[in-house]
Amino acid sequence: MPATKFDKESIKNTIVGKVQRYNGLPIEEASKAQIYRALASTVRDQIMQKVVECRDIRKKNKGKRLYYLSVEFLMGRSMYCNMLNLLSTKEYTEALQELGIDLREILKEEPEPGLGNGGLGRLAACFLDSLSSLNLPAMGCTIRYEYGLFRQKIVDGQQVELPDSWLDNGNAWETAQMEDTCEVHFGGHVEEVMINGQQKFVTRDYYTVEAVPYDMPVVGYDAVTVNPLRMWSARSPKKLDLKNFSEGRYVQASEEIELAETISKVLYPEDRHYEGKMLRLKQHYFFTSASLQYILKEYKQTFGNDMSKLPQKVVIHINDTHPGMAIPELMRLLIDEEGLGWDEAMNITRQTIAYTNHTIMAEALEKWPVNMVQQLLPRCYQIICEMNRRLCERLWNFFPGDWDRIARMAIVSYDNVHMANMLVAMSYSVNGVSKLHGEILKEETFHDFNLVMPEKFCAITNGITHRRWLMSCNPELTELINQSIGTDWIREPGKLSELRPFADDAAFREEFAKIKQHNKERLAKMLKDRQNVDVDPAFMFDVQAKRLHEYKRQMLNALHILVLYNRIVNDETFTMQPRVFIFGAKASPGYTRAKQIIRMICALSRLIEKHPRARKMLQVVFLENYDVSSAEVLIPAAEVSEQLSTASKEASGTGNMKFMMNGAVTIGTLDGANVEISEQVGMDNIYIFGMRSNTVRDMYRENTYNPMTIYESNHEIREAMTQMIDGTLMPENPAALQELYHSLLLGSWGSIGDSFFVLKDFGSYSMAQKRLNADYADQVKWQKMAVTNTAMSGIFSSDRTIREYNEKIWHLEPLAKPKKK
Ligand code: 26V
């Protein structure tokens, strides 16, 4: 088919034509939503042209392909990044302009697919962008959740969760791939049968759910590659029960269908009850099994039935433990469906699967009750037990007699299936997501495995796509960089370091500061429009935006703000650089203490607002429903980036990198990737405070920390904490923060409180804040720091991360356009 052109004139005609065909309207009468759909469909046409081309190259090239399995892909809106990666922003902007339409207004029409909850999911999305941009053949695999992460509203100072029905008006980017629909089986029992003298295992009486794939294309920047994100949707094979229906039992008539389809209903269903936990296991197995069936089908189509070459042609990457059932499932498919022997299947599996760990938090290291796995996945359970038996045998030779250690390392122990242990034992690569996290995995989390199989472990520091997190969200800064150092940095983000000398260039700094000011104004406008909140763009913008979790210590920030308030109120001569502290955070619905922290922040905001002198220099804003789209406005406007996690707890962090890239200065602990950020910018361009990771780990081991001694000796902390419960913060309900207050002092069930060392690190944090406040007054100094941060951020591009994964783990060949003869 001859290629269609996507120049300005053709784009105009196409959009006008589509509005006429879809809506029967002239463009002047079309609504924004109608224009959005016509525009998205035009961009999609342009992408599809590339899809065909890319498919063709892949068919000829027959190279290895990566399948990246993740329960989360936090994609954000696609329209603008698609145009950017197609090198067509100018054409589209001008085409619309000539039709009298402002592109920026249309972009807001796109619903954001919230198919993720935090760093893990956004990392997966950044990876897809970099994979395509580096022309590496890959497919993302996940669930097509009908409801993404909840929409957050703040009502009376508290978080309220609303359903996020992002698919209401359809998803303009996806295409259903009906021919790849497959069956996933649950339940039943396993029978051993002899077929042609061979022992076989057959599952009987299972029930079936159909998996229907929808593909969303991810275009690379100026690349030939378009990689799909494949989202599996659950569908019941049963049709409407007409008998029930015609007899008036309407609910029963579709009950079974509904039940099967709940599998892809919501992201992270509540799992405090048995049904919820079961549903999560079903979700994980559902998309893992469907993905693996597809992987083998595609492999066989290209390479025939010889499975021994699988590791040369396929790599399956497991993003955290959630898709870990890929291991028994691949074993099952190889043994039961492809007829391989156990040893061969095990060798192939071990050479095909790689695993990334994203957290050392004990509660996030997944385990499943044995009876649940046995009931839901009886054949996989058998395979797990056999893998466990062999692993323990091997460990017994390594650690003879050391039962405790072997039990800790086993796949099945204490009535649970331990996913992380299974993944470490059965994959060829285990990586952490920052240098420090990689070390902790080897020394602590997987210490014993590292003694047995040290060759598997490595660390690859996370990254973010500079295309979304700089070029798309901060066009003015992008333009300034291009004018100063040219555009090579776009392909080689390390070259951003060429900006460093510009820190000493007064004219450059002035431009840099002006852009920050515009971005602050843009954020102020958004806050006004969305929440009717007034912020003064002359204030310093200080931002902490990330999931709400005790280890991330939003509480440390909040407590410090309350202390600042007291300093203002108690001392009429006290002044500080006017500063607005902006928080963005969703708390998991069942995580009560996290929700109390949100309450505390909102209460702080109200308290300060009521005080005529305090409000002149201090403000707290809670940004509702923090998501990718609001991050794209928030981050470019930030001057201070708060990265306060208890050292050792934040595996990497990626928000820290986004803020840095946009010229915010970090105040943070030496945790996760903050360590590497501090190495890049140097200690003069970052505010480091608090205990170091080793000290924290020693303190946990020794169990000697007592927050009470700090409470007693530090009157500022005492005063602020008392205000949490004496009606100062919560005049209408003084008891509301009592539990939170106690958690900082006493803990529960006899354990000591403040398990994340908020009080312990307070003094050091407060000193760092004092330095920061003083430095901000010296704007020359401050702007130099800001420029240095942007200049040194190139190493945190996910292009670097993906190159490293490819060199160390995946070994994929980049796709290339065939040379014209
Ligand atoms: C968290 C939650 C919280 C809400 C309920 C469901 C649920 C399920 C799993 C998890 C674990 C998430 C692990 C995670 O997001 N880790 C983050 O991964 C980032 C990318 O590597 C990294 O930068 C962050 O430091 C790490 O916390």
- 545 exposure class (CB count in 10 Å sphere: 0-12, 13-18, 19+): buried
List the residue whose alpha carbon is closest to atom 23 of ligand 1. 653
> Is the CB of residue 459 below 6 angstroms from any atom belonging to ligand 1?
no
Q: Would residue 593 show up in a list of annotated catalytic residues for this protein? A: no
The structure's pTM equals 0.97
* Residue among 550, 559, 596 nearest 720 (CA): 559
Among the options 552, 579, 760, 784, which is catalytic? 552
> Is the CB of residue 436 below 6 angstroms from any atom belonging to ligand 1?
no
Pocket perturbation via mutation, ligand 1, pick of 145, 359, 657 by most ligand atoms within 8 A of CB: 359
Q: What integer pLDDT is reported at residue 254 of this predicted model?
A: 76
Residue 232 and residue 286 in contact, taking contact as beta carbons nearer than 8 Å: yes
> pLDDT tier at 583 (50, 70, 90 boundaries)?
very high
Nearest atom in ligand 1 to the alpha carbon of residue 645 is: 25
- Alpha-carbon distance of 154 to 587, in angstroms, equals 12
Q: Would residue 265 show up in a list of annotated catalytic residues for this protein? A: no
Nearest atom in ligand 1 to the alpha carbon of residue 547 is: 3
Q: What integer pLDDT is reported at residue 273 of this predicted model?
A: 85
> In degrees to the nearest 10, what's the CA dihedral of 272, 276, 277, 283?
-150
Which residues, 6 or more positions from 583, have their beta carbon under 8 angstroms from its beta carbon? 543, 544, 545, 554, 557, 601, 620, 621, 622, 623
| Chain segment 295-319, per-residue pLDDT in tens | 999 999 999 999 999 999 999 999 9
Query: How far, in Å, from the CA of 120 to the mean position of ligand 1?
Result: 5
| Chain segment 420-441, per-residue pLDDT in tens | 999 999 999 999 999 999 999 9
More confident residue, 818 or 282: 282
The residue with tokens 């070459």 is 309
- Alpha-carbon distance of 602 to 732, in angstroms, equals 13
Q: Is the four-CA dihedral 674, 680, 685, 689 of positive or negative sign?
A: positive
Query: Can you tell me the mean pLDDT for 325-344?
Result: 97
Q: What integer pLDDT is reported at residue 261 of this predicted model?
A: 87
Q: Is the four-CA dihedral 435, 436, 441, 444 of positive or negative sign?
A: positive
Q: What integer pLDDT is reported at residue 241 of this predicted model?
A: 78
Query: How far, in Å, from the CA of 123 to the mean position of ligand 1?
Result: 10
* Residue among 235, 230, 231, 185 nearest 211 (CA): 235
* Residue among 775, 762, 800 nearest 665 (CA): 775
- Alpha-carbon distance of 27 to 820, in angstroms, equals 41
- Alpha-carbon distance of 819 to 580, in angstroms, equals 56
Among the options 658, 760, 784, 800, which is catalytic? 658
- 104 exposure class (CB count in 10 Å sphere: 0-12, 13-18, 19+): exposed
- Alpha-carbon distance of 500 to 685, in angstroms, equals 12
Q: What integer pLDDT is reported at residue 750 of this predicted model?
A: 56
> Is the CB of residue 672 below 6 angstroms from any atom belonging to ligand 1?
yes
Residue type, 493: P
**Share above pLDDT 70 across residues of the chain, in percent, rounded to a whole number:** 99
Query: How far, in Å, from the CA of 119 to the mean position of ligand 1?
Result: 6
Nearest atom in ligand 1 to the alpha carbon of residue 650 is: 25
Query: How far, in Å, from the CA of 267 to the mean position of ligand 1?
Result: 14
| Chain segment 792-805, per-residue pLDDT in tens | 999 999 999 999 99
| Chain segment 631-676, per-residue pLDDT in tens | 999 999 999 999 999 999 999 999 999 999 999 999 999 999 999 9
DSSP 562: H
Query: How far, in Å, from the CA of 638 to the mean position of ligand 1?
Result: 23
Q: What integer pLDDT is reported at residue 253 of this predicted model?
A: 75
Q: What integer pLDDT is reported at residue 247 of this predicted model?
A: 85
Q: Would residue 175 show up in a list of annotated catalytic residues for this protein? A: no
Query: Can you tell me the mean pLDDT for 162-188?
Result: 96
Between helix 779-791 and helix 758-777 the angle, nearest 10°, is 110
| Chain segment 484-513, per-residue pLDDT in tens | 999 999 999 999 999 999 999 999 999 999
- CA 774-779-780 angle, to 5 degrees, is 120
Residue 396 and residue 774 in contact, taking contact as beta carbons nearer than 8 Å: no
Query: Can you tell me the mean pLDDT for 96-115?
Result: 96
List the residue whose alpha carbon is closest to atom 12 of ligand 1. 120
Query: How far, in Å, from the CA of 613 to the mean position of ligand 1?
Result: 40
| Chain segment 718-753, per-residue pLDDT in tens | 999 999 999 999 999 999 999 999 999 986 555 679
Query: How far, in Å, from the CA of 116 to the mean position of ligand 1?
Result: 10
Q: Is the four-CA dihedral 604, 606, 612, 617 of positive or negative sign?
A: positive
| Chain segment 441-458, per-residue pLDDT in tens | 999 999 999 999 999 999
The residue with tokens 């700090």 is 710
> pLDDT tier at 69 (50, 70, 90 boundaries)?
very high
Which residues, 6 or more positions from 197, have their beta carbon under 8 angstroms from its beta carbon? none
Query: Can you tell me the mean pLDDT for 55-62?
Result: 94
Name the phi and psi angles at 544, rounded to 5: -125, 110
Nearest atom in ligand 1 to the alpha carbon of residue 117 is: 4
Residue type, 262: T
Residue 309 and residue 303 in contact, taking contact as beta carbons nearer than 8 Å: yes
Query: Can you tell me the mean pLDDT for 372-401?
Result: 97
Structure tokens at 812: 């994929």
Kindly state the helix (H) or strand (E) to which residue 466 belongs, with its residue range: helix 466-466
Structure tokens at 744: 């900082």
> Is the CB of residue 650 below 6 angstroms from any atom belonging to ligand 1?
yes
> Is the CB of residue 796 below 6 angstroms from any atom belonging to ligand 1?
no
Q: What is the DSSP string of 794-809?
A: GGGBHHHHHHHHIIII
Query: How far, in Å, from the CA of 358 to the mean position of ligand 1?
Result: 6
Q: What integer pLDDT is reported at residue 751 of this predicted model?
A: 66
- 484 exposure class (CB count in 10 Å sphere: 0-12, 13-18, 19+): middle
| Chain segment 755-791, per-residue pLDDT in tens | 999 999 999 999 999 999 999 999 999 999 999 999 9
Residue 198, pLDDT > 90, answer no
Nearest atom in ligand 1 to the alpha carbon of residue 118 is: 15
> Is the CB of residue 769 below 6 angstroms from any atom belonging to ligand 1?
no
Query: Can you tell me the mean pLDDT for 347-363?
Result: 95
Residue type, 634: L
Residue 295 and residue 315 in contact, taking contact as beta carbons nearer than 8 Å: no
Q: What integer pLDDT is reported at residue 747 of this predicted model?
A: 62
Which residues, 6 or more positions from 699, have their beta carbon under 8 angstroms from its beta carbon? 691, 705, 757
- CA 755-756-760 angle, to 5 degrees, is 100
Q: What is the DSSP string of 661-687?
A: HTTPEEEE-S-TTHHHHHHHH-GGGSE
- Alpha-carbon distance of 116 to 124, in angstroms, equals 10
| Chain segment 232-258, per-residue pLDDT in tens | 999 998 887 788 878 888 788 777 787
**Share above pLDDT 90 across residues of the chain, in percent, rounded to a whole number:** 91
Query: Can you tell me the mean pLDDT for 359-384?
Result: 94
Query: Can you tell me the mean pLDDT for 197-213?
Result: 94
Tell me the Cα Rg of the chain.
27
List the residue whose alpha carbon is closest to atom 3 of ligand 1. 588
> Is the CB of residue 388 below 6 angstroms from any atom belonging to ligand 1?
no
Query: How far, in Å, from the CA of 431 to the mean position of ligand 1?
Result: 15
DSSP 154: E
> Is the CB of residue 269 below 6 angstroms from any atom belonging to ligand 1?
no
Q: Would residue 547 show up in a list of annotated catalytic residues for this protein? A: yes
> Is the CB of residue 278 below 6 angstroms from any atom belonging to ligand 1?
no
Query: How far, in Å, from the CA of 764 to the mean position of ligand 1?
Result: 27
| Chain segment 549-561, per-residue pLDDT in tens | 999 999 999 999 9
> Is the CB of residue 148 below 6 angstroms from any atom belonging to ligand 1?
no
- Alpha-carbon distance of 513 to 785, in angstroms, equals 12
Query: Can you tell me the mean pLDDT for 681-706?
Result: 95
> Is the CB of residue 364 below 6 angstroms from any atom belonging to ligand 1?
yes
Q: What integer pLDDT is reported at residue 821 of this predicted model?
A: 53
> Is the CB of residue 267 below 6 angstroms from any atom belonging to ligand 1?
no
> Is the CB of residue 798 below 6 angstroms from any atom belonging to ligand 1?
no
> Is the CB of residue 588 below 6 angstroms from any atom belonging to ligand 1?
yes
Query: Can you tell me the mean pLDDT for 810-819?
Result: 91
Among the options 18, 44, 122, 358, which is catalytic? 358
